[in-house]
Chains A and B, each alone.
Chain A
Amino acid sequence: MSEMNNERFEDLKEAYVLGALPEEERQSFEDYLAGHPERQAEIDELGAVAGLLAFSPPEQEPSPELRSRVMEVVEAEAEPSHVRRRSVAERIGDYLSVRSLALGAAALLVIGLLSWNVLLQGQVQDLQGRVQDAQSQVQNLQGQVADARDQQQVQKSQTIKLEGSWADQGANAEVASIDKNQVILVANNMPSVPEDRTCQIWVIKGDVPKPSGLFRPDGNMTATPITNSIEKADVIAVTVEPTGGSEQPTSDPVLSAAL
């Protein structure tokens, strides 16, 4: 096998992102990449293109049993506090079996049980404390996630055109950032909607659509503030919803754009 160098890296990078290098060559490629971190972004970008193939297979539904099997393992590993509780119970059981062998030492046993009771109460309090600590940690984490999102509100100035069935009919809609914190949807030539309907904007991150503004096309140009950050969002879309809007979209998007 030839030594890895820039020319060879260039020659092999497509095979690498497709997972088509033999093990030894793959290792050599990754060693070279580790020594040239400036090329990582290029490989990530190419890997994203290759990764699109993962979206192309026809949909298959996994069995409910698969979910049960996975969650059984996950829940067992997620709750070490339960394990600790079982451990305490087992120790009680051990103690009781010892007691059955030591009936003659009843007085000692009573003293032992009282001591054990005190010890158990201490352990229960300790466990409750640990559970509270864990809950606090989760809350802190959620707070940190929210803070991080808040800090990432900086938007680049940009304009993005929306496509879809209404655009095909001549509607023109664009998302525009007017400063780093304000993003608006500018629309004109939109089809009219029935009296009991309105247009609703959605910002979608992952698979989660967030309601992000309402407007009614009136034949003129409209500019509607988008009420959720589009930073790190995947797509922005417009649906037709009942007047007042919906918590979740109830119809297919008439306009959308990948971000």
Chain B
Amino acid sequence: MADRGRQYLGLADEDLISLVEAADAEAFATLYDRHSRAAFSLAYRMMGDRQASEDLAQDAFLKVWRGAGSYRAERGSVRTWILSIVHNRGIDQLRSHASRRRTQERVEASAPRSQPSEAFAETWRNSQRDQVREALDTLPAEQLKILQLAYFSGYTHLEISELLSLPLGTVKGRMRLGLKKIRDYFESRDAAVPR
């Protein structure tokens, strides 16, 4: 069993997800251990408290387990797919809550940078995260705020327009420019957008 566990550690995510599709719990456990921290971090950023975040992460990982067959490699990496499940279900939950705890202050709070780990894999993940943060740092504050309100807090473009007292066209324009600027950041470094 320990040998099998070690074998799984050497498999790429795409191979593991094929085994998960065949109901292999050990393969799933390996995927969970690789991506649970990123998934939980995103859930926590969206929900704002540990219990709700753990519920969201649990819900998302069970969807990964039960829906591994719906993963399509051509649409992006397994990690991106898992995070998109967390994001989509997080938005559903935020919108279903009658009372929204989400506040502008939370969005405006700047995120502290975590210390990079010594472990190599961690170094790579941190490097990817740092690149993304650097890309976000290039955005004007008004564009970043709108992307964050939409992506993390689940506000629709109409709600953002009301919240910030901006014309809807301005909100959509800032979304467009914000995403373009992130893409330009990677293209200017001859790097592909991580997927």
Q: In the complex, given contacts A62-B40, A210-B10, what are 14 additional A-B residue pairs having Cβ atoms less than 8 angstroms apart?
A: A14-B176, A44-B76, A49-B183, A54-B38, A55-B128, A55-B194, A57-B111, A58-B45, A58-B111, A62-B54, A77-B66, A78-B25, A207-B13, A239-B120
Are the CB atoms of B13 and A206 closer together than 8 Å?
yes
The yes or no answer to A178 lying at the interface (CB within 8 A) is no
The distance from the CB of B13 to the nearest CB of chain A, in whole angstroms, is 4
User: B29, A60: Cβ atoms under 8 Å?
Assistant: no
- The answer to whether the Cβ of B93 comes within 8 Å of any Cβ in the partner chain is no
B32-62 interface (Cβ within 8 A of A): 32-34, 36-42, 44-45, 50, 53-54, 57-58, 61-62
Q: A15-B150, A66-B40 are in contact. Are A56 and B179 (CB under 8 A)?
A: no
Q: Identify the closest chain B residue to A246 (Cβ).
A: B120
A60 engages B41 (CB within 8 Å): yes
Q: Give chain A interface residues in 217-259, CB to chain B under 8 Å.
A: 232, 234-235, 237, 239, 248-253, 256, 258-259
How many A-B contacts at CB < 8 Å in the complex? 217
Total count of chain B residues near the partner, CB < 8 A: 89
Find out whether the CB atom of A71 lies under 8 angstroms from the CB atom of B150. Answer: no
Knowing A62-B54, A206-B77, say if A19 contacts B19 (CB, 8 Å).
Answer: no
The answer for the CA separation of A51 and B147 in the assembled complex, in Å, is: 11
| Interface size range of chain A in the complex | 35 or more
What is the CB-to-nearest-CB distance from A53 to chain B, in angstroms, rounded to a whole number? 5
Residues of B within 8 A of A57 (CB): 41-42, 44-45, 111, 152
Q: Are A237 and B124 in contact (CB under 8 A)?
A: yes
Chain B facing A: main interface SS: helix
- Enumerate chain A residues within 8 angstroms of B98, measured Cβ to Cβ: none
Which chain A residue shows the least CB distance to B42?
A54
Q: How far is the CA of A251 from the CA of B7 in the complex (A)?
A: 23
**B54 engages A50 (CB within 8 Å):** no
Q: Does B127 contact A (CB under 8 A)?
A: yes
- Return B172 CB to nearest CB of chain A, in Å: 6
What are the 9 closest A-B residue pairs judged by CB atoms, nearest first? A57-B45, A249-B120, A20-B150, A62-B40, A78-B25, A206-B13, A54-B83, A18-B150, A14-B175
Give bound CA distance, A217 to B86, whole Å: 45
Find chain A residues with CB under 8 A from B150 CB: 15, 18-20
Query: How far does the alpha carbon of A251 sit from the alpha carbon of B190 in the complex, in Å?
Result: 26
Q: Which A residues touch B23, using CB under 8 A?
A: 77-78
Residues of A within 8 A of B101 (CB): none
A96: interface (CB < 8 Å): no
Of all chain A residues, the one with the shortest Cβ separation from B75 is A44
Contacts of B193 in A (CB 8 A): 45, 48-49, 52
Which stretch in A30-38, A105-113, A119-127, A137-145 binds the other chain?
A137-145
